[in-house]
Every structure is written in structure tokens, then in C-alpha cells.
């Protein structure tokens, strides 16, 4: 069967590309779509940069320098060109296939490189004294902070218009292929829109996966690729014999400009992966960041800075919440609970009290009257309508303000700003082998679970998120999670 499939695949690859096989209108439409997306991204970046430089000049005027020098204007113009050029070289236009972490990394590198280039030229041309330091600092900080959210908004807008993304074909309809299709449908920002799945042996039971139709065998992919002007194929057959994917990739390369192969590396750390070429033999080097003491020290420094600065800024809010809790129901304002933490050591996790002091008695009585609620509790360790929760407590939970006292745990080194969701002692058995991963990091005030649906996710998904976060951890991932947390809290997704 494999030989027959390879023979059909070879015939498809060798078939002449006639006008009927390559619909010019469809290909031209695809080209214009990509040009429009790239133009939107570049235009938004240019507009943002000009707006930031203008705001910087106004701020400069407030400090006594009301006019921009010719050097400053020339520098701002040059910086704009270098910044946009570097973003293009780093593949950010349009940047399909880049997740949030890699996008943030490349955008940060573009800003840092532009600053370095500007400084070098300023020293070489001896114009450093003429450039406004305030202008440069404000400008680069503005680009560093505002460029990522603006890019997200532009992608979201073009997606709603049906422009963002490009069609891809999934070769392999097994477990890996199904998981890949679901991931690409959920993570729309990657820009890969699966239009069909192909498999030699396995067809989806209902002829589709998440609405993506089955297109036939792998050999049928080339014909559809010509008709639909698809230039990207993803081989999701990680358990196939080595010779088969290699042969398919070789035969498909003349038709698909981009060929992606999903390797059989499930459960391997993805935080730092580098491809190595050993004289024709492909190797993949993994560098788990958890073993890098320097990076972990940076994480701890960010935790301390965030806890100290954040605690100082929200101190009036903390006092207000304490007063509201005391007025709403009798009992202490704070609540502590023993939780397993880093290296399996237990610690007292602090929260604002959100329940009545006799909550455990209420819960026991409720379970006796309603077995369905007891089943919900055993499945998720939470109740969507918990009678123990006070009025102010419900608001604190929905907004996650009850977690703010955990800044004290962060200062003590028991928790982190970002980390795995703190679990209860009785949950350890449900985590199984993943608990060994959980113990490798400090639990976080926020984390991947909090920004990925919270209580709308099932318990198995929560455990998978812990495993993914620990294996893929990096400072960049923490920054992405921190940036997404305020929006999740405002929208209150999955909160109760």
C-alpha cells in the first residue's frame, strides 16, 4: 500500500502545472490577501512609531526644549526605518506560525537592536550630545510596551475581516493530526487555517475533524493544493517509519513551499529548541530553562520587583477590601490554607476570605441534600454556585482580587507571580506523574490556567497545562501570561 501511495504521490508531483491546475485568479487573490495583511501590519507599526515620537517631542517640550532639532528628526526617521526593517528580517510580516512567546521575543530583539544601532551611529558621527536622551528613552520604551498589543489588535481586526491567516493542509488524521487541527483552530493567531486533512489509512469517522473535511489520501493533497493555491503542508505522522515521511517530504517539496514535520517528541521540553545538522543527520537540541540558574534568578528578581512595587501601588485597594469584608460578614479578613509548593514543601497560602466562617458545615449539609453538587465538587474541586461564598466574596472571586494577599507569599519565596495553579493537598493523587513537574516550580498568582479559560476548562486540561507550562517555561512565556492576565480579569472569562 505504501508503494502504491508513493507511486501516486510521485505522479501528482510530476504532473505538469497547466492553467487548469493553477487557477490564476485564486493565486492572485491569495497574493493580494497577504500583501494587504503585511501592509496593515507595517502601516500600524509606522503609525505607532510616529505617534510615540510625537508624544516624546511634546514631553520634551514640557521639560524646556520646545523645538526638535534637525538631528532629532533625522534620528527618529532613521530609527523608524531600521525598526521596521529589522521586524521584517525577523519574519514578523506577517509572522505566520509564530506563537505569542516567539512574537514577543522577536519584537523585543527588534527594539533592542534598533537602540544599539542608533547608539553606535550616534557615537560614530559624534552627534550624541545633540540627540535628546529623553526622546530616545521615551520612544524606545513606547515601542517596547505598545508594539505587541497593537500587533495583536491588528491581527484580531484582520481576522474578523476574514483576511488573517493562510490555508494549510494536514497530512495525517490520527491522534496527532486531530490534536493539531484543534490547536490551530483554537490558536487563531498562529495564522494557519487547516482546509483539509489527508491520510492513507485513517479517515475521520464523520468525514471531518473540527469542521475540517477529509480530503482523501496523502497523494490527493497535491491536486487540491494546486486548486486552492496552498503552499504549506504539515506532516502529522510522528509514528510512521522514518523512510515514509522523508519520501513524502521530498516529493511534496516542489509543490509546497513550506513543509512542516511534527516529530515524535511528545512530552519533551520546548522552552529552548535548536535544530542541529550533523553532516546530513538532523538533531534537535533541547535546553530546559529550569536548569539555567541565571534565568531562574531573573525570574526571582522580577517576582520581588513586582511584589514590592505592586504591593505599594495597590495598598489603598487592599485596605478597602479588608473593610468591605469585615462589613459584609463576621470573621477575619484573611484566610490561609496549606498547599504543596516548590520541591514538595508545604506552605501557608494567603487569600482574602471569601466564605462564611462556617462554610465547611454548609458544604457538608449541601452534599447531603444534593448528590449532583457533590459530584461536581469531586470532579472540579469547585462549585459554580457555592453557598459558602459571601456577597463581597463572590465579587472578589470573579475579579480574582482575593488572590492579592499572595504577594506576601511571593515576597517569602513560596510563590511566584507566574507559575502553575496552586493545588490542594488532596489533589496530589489526581495529578499523577505531572506532580513531579509541578514540584519543580513555585506556584503562581497567575498562570497558564488563569489565562486559558479558568473554570471553563476540565480538570484533565488543567493538569495538561501544568505539564506544558513547566516543560516550556521561559521568561518570555511569563511575560506573555502577565500581559494577558489583566484582559482576562476584566472580561471575567471562566470566573466564579
In the chain, where are the structural domains located? 27-160, 165-264, 293-354+389-491
What is the reported pLDDT for 13? 46
Would you state the cell numbers that stand for residue 228, as one nine-digit string? Answer: 486552492
Residue located via cell numbers 456577597? 391
Looking at domain 165-264, which of 3.40.50.720, 3.40.50.150, 3.20.10.10, 3.40.50.300 is its CATH number?
3.40.50.720
Give the range among 340-354, 391-405, 455-469 with minimum mean pLDDT: 455-469
Collapse the DSSP code of 156 into the 3-class scheme (helix H, G, I; strand E, B; otherwise coil) and give the result: helix
Alpha carbon distance 288, 474 (integer Å): 9
Alpha carbon distance 303, 254 (integer Å): 50
Phi, psi angles (nearest 5°) of residue 213: -75, 155
Dihedral sign, CA of 166, 167, 170, 171?
negative
Give the range among 13-22, 43-52, 120-129, 194-203 with minimum mean pLDDT: 13-22
What is the reported pLDDT for 158? 92
Length of the chain: 496
What is the reported pLDDT for 18? 45
Q: What is the pLDDT of residues 2-16, one digit of tens each?
A: 444 444 444 554 444
0.85 exceeded by pTM: no
For the chain, the first-to-last Cα distance in angstroms comes to 54
What is the reported pLDDT for 130? 46
Nearest alpha carbon to residue 304 among 407, 374, 163 = 407
| DSSP designation for 494 | T
Mean pLDDT (whole number) for 139-147: 88
Check if the beta carbon of residue 230 is closer than 8 Å to that of residue 195: yes
Alpha carbon distance 152, 150 (integer Å): 5
Check if the beta carbon of residue 479 is closer than 8 Å to that of residue 104: yes
Residue located via cell numbers 521596521? 84
Alpha carbon distance 443, 449 (integer Å): 12
Amino acid at each position: 500500500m505504501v508503494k502504491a501511495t508513493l507511486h501516486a504521490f510521485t505522479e501528482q508531483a510530476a504532473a505538469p502545472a497547466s492553467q487548469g491546475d493553477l487557477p490564476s485568479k485564486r493565486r492572485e487573490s491569495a497574493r493580494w490577501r497577504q500583501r494587504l495583511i503585511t501592509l496593515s501590519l507595517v502601516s500600524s507599526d509606522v503609525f505607532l512609531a510616529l505617534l510615540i515620537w510625537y508624544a516624546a517631542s511634546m514631553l520634551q517640550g514640557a521639560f524646556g526644549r520646545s523645538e526638535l532639532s534637525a538631528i532629532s528628526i533625522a534620528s527618529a526617521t532613521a530609527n523608524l526605518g531600521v525598526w521596521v526593517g529589522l521586524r521584517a528580517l525577523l519574519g514578523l510580516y506577517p509572522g505566520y506560525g509564530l506563537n505569542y512567546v516567539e512574537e514577543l521575543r522577536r519584537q523585543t530583539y527588534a527594539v533592542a537592536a534598533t537602540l544599539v544601532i542608533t547608539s553606535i551611529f550616534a557615537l560614530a558621527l559624534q552627534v550624541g550630545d545633540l540627540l535628546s536622551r529623553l526622546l530616545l528613552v521615551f520612544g524606545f520604551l513606547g515601542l517596547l510596551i505598545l508594539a505587541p498589543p497593537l500587533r495583536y489588535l491588528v491581527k484580531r481586526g484582520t481576522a474578523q475581516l476574514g483576511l488573517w491567516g493562510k490555508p494549510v493542509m494536514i497530512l495525517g488524521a490520527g491522534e496527532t493530526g486531530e490534536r493539531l487541527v484543534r490547536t490551530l483552530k483554537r490558536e487563531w493567531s498562529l495564522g494557519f487555517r487547516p482546509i483539509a486533512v489527508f491520510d492513507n489509512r485513517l479517515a475521520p469517522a464523520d468525514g471531518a475533524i473540527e469542521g475540517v473535511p477529509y480530503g482523501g489520501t496523502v497523494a490527493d493533497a497535491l491536486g487540491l493544493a494546486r486548486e486552492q493555491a496552498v503552499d504549506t503542508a504539515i506532516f502529522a505522522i510522528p509514528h510512521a517509519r522514518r523512510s515514509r515521511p522523508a519520501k513524502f517530504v521530498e516529493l511534496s517539496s516542489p509543490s509546497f513551499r513550506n513543509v512542516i514535520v511534527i516529530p515524535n517528541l511528545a512530552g519533551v521540553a520546548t522552552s529552548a529548541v535548536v535544530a542541529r545538522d550533523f553532516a546530513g543527520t538532523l538533531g534537535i537540541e533541547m535546553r530546559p530553562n529550569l536548569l539555567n540558574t541565571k534565568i531562574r534568578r531573573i525570574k526571582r528578581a522580577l517576582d520581588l520587583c513586582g511584589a514590592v512595587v505592586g504591593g505599594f501601588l495597590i495598598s489603598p485597594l487592599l485596605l478597602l477590601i479588608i473593610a468591605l469584608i469585615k462589613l459584609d460578614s463576621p470573621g477575619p479578613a484573611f484566610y490561609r490554607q496549606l498547599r504543596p509548593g516548590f520541591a514538595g514543601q508545604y506552605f501557608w497560602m494567603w487569600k482574602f476570605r471569601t466564605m462564611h466562617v462556617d462554610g465547611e458545615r454548609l458544604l457538608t449539609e449541601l452534599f447531603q441534600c444534593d448528590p449532583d453538587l457533590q459530584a461536581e465538587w469531586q470532579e472540579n474541586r469547585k462549585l459554580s454556585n457555592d453557598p459558602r461564598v459571601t456577597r463581597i466574596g463572590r465579587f472578589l472571586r470573579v475579579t480574582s482580587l482575593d488572590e492579592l494577599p499572595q504577594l506576601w507569599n511571593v515576597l517569602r519565596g513560596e510563590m511566584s507571580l507566574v507559575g502553575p495553579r496552586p493545588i490542594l493537598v488532596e489533589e496530589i493523587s489526581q495529578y499523577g506523574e505531572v506532580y513531579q513537574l509541578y514540584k519543580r516550580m513555585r506556584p503562581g498568582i497567575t498562570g497558564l490556567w488563569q489565562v486559558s479559560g479558568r473554570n471553563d476548562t476540565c480538570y484533565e486540561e488543567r493538569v495538561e497545562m501544568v505539564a506544558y507550562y513547566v516543560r516550556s517555561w521561559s521568561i518570555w512565556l511569563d511575560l506573555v501570561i502577565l500581559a494577558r492576565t489583566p484582559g482576562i480579569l476584566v472580561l471575567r472569562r471562566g470566573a466564579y
